[in-house]
Amino acid sequence: MTRPQRDLFPSVHTQDQGQLPLDDRHTMYWETAGKPDGQPALFLHGGPGAGASADHRRFFDPEHYYTVLFDQRGAGRSTPLGETRDNTTQHLIQDIETLRQHLGIERWLLFGGSWGSTLALAYAQAHPERVTGLVLRGIFLGRRSEIRWFLTGMGAFCPEAWDRFASYIPEAERGDLLRAYCTRLDDPDPEIHVSAARAWSTYEGSCSTLLPSPETVAAFGDARTALGLARLEAHYFAHNAFLEEGQLLRDAGRLHGIPGTIVQGRYDVICPPQSAWELKQAWPQAQHVIVPDAGHSAMEPGIRRALVAATQRMEGVK
Tens-place pLDDT, residues 169-226: 999 999 999 999 999 999 999 999 999 999 999 999 999 999 999 999 999 999 999 9
247 lies in the same domain as 236? no
- Report residue 1's pLDDT band, with 50, 70 and 90 as the boundaries: very low
d(CA 223, CA 221): 6
Is residue 1 a part of any domain in this protein? no
How many domains does the structure of the chain reveal? 2
298 lies in the same domain as 166? no
End of a domain among 188, 218, 241? 241
CATH of the domain at 299: 3.40.50.1820
pLDDT at 107: 98
pLDDT per residue as tens digits for the range 43-90: 999 999 999 999 999 999 999 999 999 999 999 999 999 999 999 999
163 lies in the same domain as 269? no
Show which residues are catalytic: 114, 268, 296
Q: Name the DSSP class of 54.
A: G
Give start and end residues of each alpha helix (H) in 168-272. Answer: 177-185, 190-206, 214-221, 223-238, 247-250
d(CA 308, CA 295): 17
Is residue 4 a part of any domain in this protein? no
pLDDT at 6: 74
End of a domain among 224, 241, 258? 241
For residues 294-318, give the mean pLDDT.
96
For residue 133, the cross-strand partners are: 109
- Report residue 255's pLDDT band, with 50, 70 and 90 as the boundaries: very high
268 vs 24, 105, 137, 151, 211, CA distance in Å? 39, 34, 10, 15, 11
- Residues 75, 235 contacting (CB under 8 angstroms): no
End of a domain among 190, 218, 241? 241
Sign of CA dihedral 221, 222, 225, 231: positive
167 lies in the same domain as 264? no
Q: What is the pTM of this model?
A: 0.97
Sign of CA dihedral 291, 293, 297, 301: negative
- Residues 87, 28 contacting (CB under 8 angstroms): no
- Report residue 2's pLDDT band, with 50, 70 and 90 as the boundaries: low
101 vs 20, 96, 238, CA distance in Å? 12, 9, 31
d(CA 173, CA 183): 11
27 lies in the same domain as 104? yes
Domain enclosing residue 77, as ranges: 14-143+242-313
Q: How many CB atoms lie within 10 A of CB 229?
A: 28
22 lies in the same domain as 73? yes
Is residue 318 a part of any domain in this protein? no
Cα dihedral value 182, 217, 56, 77, nearest 10 = 50
- Residues 201, 219 contacting (CB under 8 angstroms): no
260 lies in the same domain as 182? no
d(CA 203, CA 164): 8
For the chain, how far is it from start to end, CA to CA, in angstroms? 21
- Residues 119, 46 contacting (CB under 8 angstroms): no
d(CA 155, CA 15): 43
